[in-house]
Amino acid sequence: MIQIDALPAFSDNYIWLLQDTAKRRCAVVDPGDAGPVEAWLAAHAGWTLETIMVTHHHNDHVGGVERLRQLTNARVVGPAHERIPGRDVALDEGHRVSVLGVTFQVLAVPGHTLGHIAYFSDEPATPLLFSGDTLFAAGCGRMFEGTPEQMQPALARLAALPPSTEVYCAHEYTLSNLRFAKAVEPSNPHVQQRFAEVTRMRADNRITLPSTIGLERLTNPFLRTSETLVKQKADEWNGRPNDSQVAVFAALRSWKDTF
């Protein structure tokens, strides 16, 4: 059994901590800051940090990698087509990597960055996805390097994972994303319900993650580009018809960038 907890970092990042409690070993995903991981290890004597998993090269995801590697000699695994500090294993589409005895499939999901990867495993009773900054709860990342033609199919691929898959993304953006989702689909009852629930959670300073793929399919406009009402809203924003799901996605992302 792998236990997963969030280590908050910066203003809204989460470093995901995977724990094998039986063997007192752990792994972390996207440690942009070494401090929260160091503090956890200091409070849990006898634990070993075995693996550092990286999704992409942005500093708020890799800033703590080299220090943690020096302190713990942990193995660093990350995308093959990006510069990742201290990387020991370069991962690309179709590769598999074992972390704490769990095998993860590597998915290439370009868009936010060109070499961005996600980690998916269906070995646990509940499938797991570490999506970095590609898929957020009720949203998606900005396209800093990629194109809509890359990112929309990447998101559609994640949306096709089993509905029960738990989605561990890297930021606490859920409430602001749901405000946008309400603008796109004001009559979607699932969006309205989730917005109310997340509003209460954030008022209590509670984490809104993980999400699930099933919930994202119901409430995330960037995964709902085939829905008639979503397309209509995207057409209104663009001032012209969008003739494909990629075009709908591009219009939504442009709208969200200025929302």
Give catalytic residue positions.
56, 58, 60-61, 112, 133, 171
Rounded CA separation 123/127 (Å) = 7
Rounded CA separation 203/212 (Å) = 22
Query: E-assigned strands of the chain?
Result: 2-9, 13-20, 25-29, 48-53, 75-79, 89-91, 96-99, 102-108, 117-121, 128-132, 135-136, 139-140, 166-169, 211-212
Phi, psi (degrees; rounded to nearest 5) at 79: -60, 140
Nearest Cα neighbor of 159 from 189, 186, 134 is 134
Rounded CA separation 106/115 (Å) = 12
